[in-house]
C-alpha cells in the first residue's frame, strides 16, 4: 500500500481519509473503533464530559499501543460520538440523554457502512454503562453480526460488571464496591487525566452511597433517590496514582479485547444479571 500515513502508523482518523483511501484499506486487516459515551453530570466537581473524554483518550491510547504491539494491522478511529442514555440524571444541566433505541440506530448505522463495504471488525468503545445504553449497543452488535457478519465487541461492560476491577485494583483500605458515579474511581481518573478540570470542592464532598440496582430505586431519577449533588461514592478519597492505574487498566482491557476479536478468540461476555436486565427493559 502506498499510503504514507498508513505505513507511518500514525493514528488514523476516519474523518481525515478520502473515500478512496478508505476503499484501499485491507478488509482482513483493518479494525475500526467507535467511541460513544454521553455528556452527563458527574457531581459538582467533575466535568459533564467525564465519560466522553475518558473513552476518547482510552480509544486513542489503545490504538497507540496496538500500533506498536501489532503493527501489521490497521486501526481506524471513527470520530467519538457524545451520545448515550442517561435519563436518570437529566435533572442536572449538562446531561444529554437519547433513547437506547437512538444509541442502537447510531451504532447500527456506523456498522452498516462497514458491513456494506465488506469490512470485518469494529470495537465499540463506551465508558458509560447504563443498562439502556448497553442494550442499544448490544442489539446493534447482534444485528450487525447477523446481517453483515461484522465482528464486534464492547470491552468495558463485561470487565466492569464482572467486577474484575475489585479483584485487580491495588489494595486501598476501604470498600470500593459502592463507588458508582463521580466517586473515588472517576475522580481519581480525572485527577490523572485532566487535573485542571476537577473542581477543588471534591476534597470536601461527603461520601454518599446508593444501590442503583435495587428494585426500590428502579426507574427513579438521581434526585428522587436523594442524590442532590449527582454523585455516588467518595470523591474526597480520590488519588492520582489510582487514576493512573485505572486508566492503564481500562486501556489494557481494550487492547486485549481487540486482539481477541481479531484472532477469533472467545471474548468476555456480560454477566447473566445484566443480560437479563437488558432483556427486561422496555426501550426508553
DSSP count for the chain of H helices, then E strands: 10, 5
Q: Output the smallest distance, CB 283 to Zn ion, in A.
A: 22
Place of cell 473524554: 53
Strands 12-13 and 74-77: parallel
Please, which residue, 50 or 139, has the CB nearer to Zn ion?
50
Q: Output the smallest distance, CB 26 to Zn ion, in A.
A: 35
Please, which residue, 55 or 261, has the CB nearer to Zn ion?
55
Q: Output the smallest distance, CB 36 to Zn ion, in A.
A: 13
- 179 belongs to the binding site for Zn ion (CB under 5 A): no
Region from 47-55, 64-72, 131-139, 239-247 binding Zn ion, contact rule CB under 5 A: 47-55
Q: Output the smallest distance, CB 189 to Zn ion, in A.
A: 9
- Strand partners for 12: 76
**Rounded CA separation 203/57 (Å):** 25
Q: Output the smallest distance, CB 57 to Zn ion, in A.
A: 13
Q: Output the smallest distance, CB 180 to Zn ion, in A.
A: 9
Please, which residue, 150 or 227, has the CB nearer to Zn ion?
227
Region from 46-54, 156-164, 212-220, 264-272 binding Zn ion, contact rule CB under 5 A: 46-54
Contacts of 278 (CB under 8 A, 6+ apart): 131, 134, 135, 138, 270
Please, which residue, 76 or 189, has the CB nearer to Zn ion?
189
CA distances from 163 to 50, 76, 143, 151 (A): 21, 30, 27, 25
Please, which residue, 24 or 169, has the CB nearer to Zn ion?
169
Q: Using CB under 5 A, which of 6, 39, 51, 138 touches Zn ion?
A: 51
CA dihedral 53, 54, 59, 60 (to 10 degrees): 60
User: Cell triple for residue 52?
Assistant: 466522553
**Rounded CA separation 53/50 (Å):** 5
Please, which residue, 51 or 179, has the CB nearer to Zn ion?
51
CA atoms in the 13 A half-sphere facing the CB of 104: 15
Give contact residues for Zn ion (rule: CB under 5 A).
50-51
Amino acid at each position: 500500500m502506498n499510503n504514507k500515513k498508513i505505513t507511518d502508523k500514525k493514528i488514523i482518523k476516519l474523518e481525515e481519509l478520502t473515500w478512496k483511501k478508505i476503499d484501499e484499506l485491507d478488509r482482513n486487516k483493518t479494525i475500526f473503533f467507535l467511541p460513544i459515551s454521553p455528556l452527563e453530570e458527574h457531581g459538582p466537581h467533575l466535568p459533564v464530559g467525564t465519560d466522553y473524554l475518558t473513552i476518547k483518550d482510552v480509544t486513542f491510547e489503545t490504538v497507540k499501543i496496538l500500533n506498536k504491539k501489532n503493527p501489521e494491522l490497521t486501526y481506524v478511529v471513527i470520530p467519538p460520538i457524545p451520545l448515550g442514555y442517561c435519563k436518570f440524571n437529566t435533572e442536572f444541566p449538562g446531561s444529554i440523554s437519547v433513547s437506547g433505541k437512538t444509541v442502537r440506530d447510531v451504532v447500527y448505522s456506523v456498522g452498516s457502512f462497514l458491513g456494506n463495504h465488506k469490512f470485518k471488525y469494529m470495537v465499540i468503545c463506551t465508558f458509560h454503562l447504563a443498562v439502556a445504553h448497553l442494550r442499544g449497543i448490544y442489539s446493534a452488535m447482534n444485528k450487525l453480526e447477523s446481517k453483515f457478519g461484522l465482528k464486534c465487541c464492547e470491552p468495558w461492560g463485561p470487565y466492569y460488571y464482572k467486577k474484575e476491577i475489585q479483584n485487580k485494583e491495588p489494595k486501598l483500605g476501604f470498600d470500593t464496591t459502592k463507588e458508582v458515579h463521580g466517586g473515588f474511581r472517576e475522580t481519581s481518573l480525572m485527577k490523572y487525566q485532566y487535573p485542571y478540570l476537577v473542581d477543588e470542592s471534591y476534597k470536601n464532598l461527603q461520601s454518599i452511597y446508593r444501590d442503583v440496582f435495587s428494585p426500590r430505586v428502579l426507574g427513579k431519577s438521581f434526585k428522587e433517590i436523594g442524590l442532590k449533588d449527582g454523585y455516588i461514592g467518595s470523591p474526597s478519597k480520590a488519588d492520582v496514582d489510582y487514576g493512573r492505574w485505572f486508566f492503564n487498566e481500562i486501556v489494557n482491557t481494550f487492547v486485549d479485547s481487540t486482539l481477541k476479536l481479531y484472532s477469533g478468540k472467545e471474548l468476555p461476555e456480560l454477566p447473566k444479571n445484566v443480560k437479563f436486565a437488558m432483556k427486561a427493559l422496555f426501550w426508553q
